[in-house]
Amino acid sequence: MSTYLLIGTAIGAVLGFLHMLSIFRARLGRPGLAPIKTVWQGIWTWFLWTLFGAYVLTFWILGAVFLGASKLLNRRQAAP
Q: What is the pLDDT of residues 28-52, one digit of tens each?
A: 888 888 888 989 999 999 999 999 9
2 vs 54: CA distance, rounded Å: 10
CB distance 71 to 79 below 8 Å: no
Task: Tell me what pLDDT residue 78 has.
Answer: 66
**What are the extents of the domains in the chain?**
2-78
pTM for this entry: 0.72
75 vs 48: CA distance, rounded Å: 38
The three-state (H, E, C) secondary structure of the chain, written as one string: CHHHHHHHHHHHHHHHHHHHHHHHHHHCCCCCCCHHHHHHHHHHHHHHHHHCHHHHHHHHHHHHHHHHHHHHHHHHHHCC
